[in-house]
Amino acid sequence: MHPYTLVLAAFELLQKENAELKRKIEIMELQNISVAVANLIDDWLSRPYQGEDKRQDIEAFSKEISKYIYSQLKA
């Protein structure tokens, strides 16, 4: 086998491995975001309502959690 062919084969394997590692990192990042969101929801559920009523509190929290998720996905 020609050395150039070996280099190309090794390069292809490295590209595949790199793509797989990137995919695993993305999955781990999404799992970390999910855990953080679950913790925020748990904290929110354990505290008393802060607005005039439940609906206002829920709306405020939904905006807060949406901003958090967006910022994490953007990063």
d(CA 71, CA 61): 15
Q: Against a cut of 0.75, is the pTM above it?
A: no
pLDDT one-digit tens code per residue, 15-34: 999 999 999 999 999 999 99
In the chain, the largest separation of any two C-alpha atoms, in whole Å, equals 76
Q: Which residue has the higher pLDDT, 54 or 12?
A: 12
Q: What is the pLDDT of residue 45?
A: 86
Report whether pLDDT(13) > 70: yes
Write b or e for each residue in 41-62: b if 16 or more Cβ atoms lie within 10 A of its Cβ, otherwise e. eeebeeeeeeeeeeeebeeebe
**Do residues 40 and 71 make contact, with C-beta atoms less than 8 angstroms apart?**
no
Q: What is the pLDDT of residue 60?
A: 87
